[in-house]
A and B are shown apart, each in its own frame.
Chain A
Amino acid sequence: MESNNLIINLKDISFSYSGNKLVLDHLSFQLLRGDRIGLVGPNGSGKTTLLHVIMGLLRPSSGTIELFGKTAHEEKDFRAIRKKIGLLFQDPDDQLFSPTVLEDVAFGPLNLGKSPEEARDIASQTLVGLDLSGFENRITYKLSGGEKKLVSLATVLAMDPEVLLLDEPTNGLDDETEEKITDILKRLSLSCIFISHNLDFLFETTNRVYAMANGKILLDETLVPHSHVHTHRFGRLPHEHKP
């Protein structure tokens, strides 16, 4: 394994919210360039916490975080990293805080030091790339759930990240929007970690699926996504299956 291909390297990470039960329990995890990893697991198994630890939003009580070959300790280290790793939050209302869509998508590029003109161009292009042209001056809180999700994705992609972390990107979306997001994510050639309960989605967009339980990633039990031929009543109607 070449070390310069190692993007995220978590060693022995433990984390708990205010001294309660360990949410992450001596967890180790690696993401290599080009990896597309799906993460499944029951609610409360620590999936979201894991992503927030990688971004430096939560500080582990023990263990080391290496990002792009450098150990990250403090806010300063993580600030440099956040340009390269994009995180999509579960609730788009947390992500979209600007009054208009264009301003929100341009927020990241502006923070990266782009001029207003450059930021405006990047934002418009990103929106066009996601089939959202014409949304520039829409008011963010008046968008529908699916539109909010797509615009949130645009805000992350506008920063041109090398790694994409998505927290339940298809949660609560209708089939059409889900298909749209799946298509977009399939086209992107980024390394990524997707949290989802939707195995069909992970099957389409990732090449490996890990299961998480009790604060650990079950590495030995890597799940291989595959489909079964099966039959039942109302099979023509869009539907989901439990994993």
Chain B
Amino acid sequence: MIEEQFSIGDSFVHNLDPRVKIIVAIIFSVVVAVSSNFSALLPALVVAVLLILLAKLPVGKVFYRLLLVNGLILFLWFFIPFTFRGDTLFTVGPLVGTKQGVLYASQITLKSNTILLAMIALLATIPISTLGHAMRQLHVPDKVVHLFLFTYRYIHVIFQEYQRLVNAMKMRGFIPKTNIHTYKSYAYLMGILLVRSYDRAERIHKAMLCRGFTGKYYTLSRFSVRTGDLVYLTVMLAAILGLVMLQWRVTI
């Protein structure tokens, strides 16, 4: 279900301390998200592409992921250029596309792709379990980390349960149609899935109690920051500062 296809690898980026990667990913994304100037956004895209190259990820698969997101962004291009007030750039029948609208849409496209690339390079290269532990060490609240790790562990189990139920429905000739019987059956399906998940959660909790769980979650992982991590952190922070300055200087 969750394939984590980018998490295994042996590159400079893969070997970095996951905590450093998380911090850089967050700061970078926030800066890119609030930037509005192309002289800052274009260099940011270059930085993100460089990170992907450093992580030695399969370009085809990365491109495929970008395609999924850009499918959504395509819809923005149908609306934004025509709904923005400004100087006329082109006309399609009665619709008027504005220069400001096109610029705004390009900005969104650029930002989303840059952030996505950075996330793929920095976060997708961490196995999910390690990501959970790194989050804990960064003092993300325990409950959030537990939710994250348990979701990862059990989404597969719940999905299997869902498939079993759907198959059982199909075996008995269920064909979804637009009628009350279909809606009712789907409601039952969701209901029983919820009940079963709840029951399972209780059993898991009991099993944890049997193994001495008292509410505190200990972990095996120890991370250590090495010279490479510090160099990387410094370079990245400098780059992000550069982006901030580019953005700031032009808008002042």
> Which residue numbers of A lie inside 8 Å of B, CB to CB?
52, 55, 57, 79, 82-83, 86-87, 89, 91, 93-95, 97-100, 102-103, 106-108, 110-112, 116, 119-120, 139-141, 155-156, 159
Q: Which residues from chain B contact A97 at a C-beta distance below 8 Å? A: 150, 153-154, 204, 207-208
Q: How many whole Å from B223's CB to the nearest CB in chain A?
A: 12
- CB pair A119–B204 under 8 Å, yes or no, is no
Q: How many whole Å from B41's CB to the nearest CB in chain A?
A: 36
Q: Nearest chain-B residue to A86 (Cβ)?
A: B210
- CB pair A79–B212 under 8 Å, yes or no, is yes
- CB pair A57–B209 under 8 Å, yes or no, is yes
- CB pair A110–B207 under 8 Å, yes or no, is no
- CB pair B212–A82 under 8 Å, yes or no, is yes
- B128: Cβ under 8 A from any A Cβ: yes
- CB pair B210–A57 under 8 Å, yes or no, is yes
Q: Nearest chain-B residue to A142 (Cβ)?
A: B156
Q: Which residues from chain A contact B152 at a C-beta distance below 8 Å? A: 99
**What CA separation (Å) do A159 and B213 show in the bound complex?**
12
Q: Nearest chain-A residue to B155 (Cβ)?
A: A141
- B203: Cβ under 8 A from any A Cβ: yes
Partner of A94, one of B128, B156, B207: B207
Interface centre among A82, A89, A110, A159 (most CB of B within 10 A): A110
- CB pair A140–B153 under 8 Å, yes or no, is yes
Q: Which residues from chain B contact A79 at a C-beta distance below 8 Å? A: 212, 214
Known contacts A89-B207, A99-B149; decide if A159 and B129 are in contact (CB<8 Å).
no
24 A-B pairs (CB sep. < 8 Å): A79-B212, A82-B209, A82-B212, A86-B210, A89-B203, A89-B207, A93-B157, A94-B200, A94-B203, A94-B207, A97-B154, A97-B207, A98-B149, A99-B152, A100-B129, A102-B220, A103-B219, A111-B211, A111-B214, A116-B220, A116-B221, A139-B129, A141-B157, A159-B211
- B218: Cβ under 8 A from any A Cβ: yes
Q: Which residues from chain B contact A111 at a C-beta distance below 8 Å? A: 211-214, 218
**What CA separation (Å) do A89 and B203 show in the bound complex?**
9
Q: Which residues from chain A contact B153 at a C-beta distance below 8 Å? A: 97-99, 140-141
Q: Which residues from chain A contact B154 at a C-beta distance below 8 Å? A: 97
Q: Which residues from chain A contact B203 at a C-beta distance below 8 Å? A: 89, 91, 94
**What CA separation (Å) do A11 and B217 show in the bound complex?**
35
Which applies to chain B's interface (DSSP): helix, strand, loop or mixed? helix
- CB pair B210–A110 under 8 Å, yes or no, is no
**What CA separation (Å) do A188 and B207 show in the bound complex?**
22
**What CA separation (Å) do A99 and B151 show in the bound complex?**
10
**What CA separation (Å) do A103 and B133 show in the bound complex?**
11
- B101: Cβ under 8 A from any A Cβ: no
Q: Which residues from chain B contact A55 at a C-beta distance below 8 Å? A: 206, 209-210
Q: Which residues from chain A contact B219 at a C-beta distance below 8 Å? A: 103, 110, 116
Q: How many whole Å from B224's CB to the nearest CB in chain A?
A: 13
Known contacts A57-B206, A94-B203; decide if A155 and B220 are in contact (CB<8 Å).
no
Q: Which residues from chain A contact B222 at a C-beta distance below 8 Å? A: 116
Q: Nearest chain-A residue to B153 (Cβ)?
A: A97
Q: How many whole Å from A103's CB to the nearest CB in chain B?
A: 6
Interface centre among B157, B212, B213, B214 (most CB of A within 10 A): B212
- CB pair B212–A112 under 8 Å, yes or no, is yes
Across the A-B interface, give the 6 residue pairs with the lowest CB-CB distance, nearest first: A99-B129, A111-B212, A110-B218, A108-B211, A94-B203, A57-B206
Supplied contacts A55-B209, A111-B214, 20 more A-B pairs, CB within 8 Å: A57-B209, A79-B212, A82-B209, A83-B212, A87-B210, A89-B203, A89-B206, A94-B203, A95-B207, A97-B204, A100-B129, A107-B208, A107-B211, A110-B218, A110-B219, A111-B213, A111-B218, A120-B220, A139-B129, A155-B211
**What CA separation (Å) do A106 and B208 show in the bound complex?**
12
**What CA separation (Å) do A159 and B206 show in the bound complex?**
16
Q: Which residues from chain B contact A83 at a C-beta distance below 8 Å? A: 212
- B97: Cβ under 8 A from any A Cβ: no
Q: Nearest chain-A residue to B150 (Cβ)?
A: A97
Q: Which residues from chain B contact A139 at a C-beta distance below 8 Å? A: 129
Q: Which residues from chain B contact A107 at a C-beta distance below 8 Å? A: 208, 211, 213, 218
- C-beta contact mask, B190-206 vs A, less than 8 Å → 1, else 0? 00000000001001101
Known contacts A82-B210, A89-B207, A97-B208; decide if A110 and B132 are in contact (CB<8 Å).
no
**What CA separation (Å) do A120 and B214 show in the bound complex?**
20
Q: How many whole Å from A167's CB to the nearest CB in chain B?
A: 11
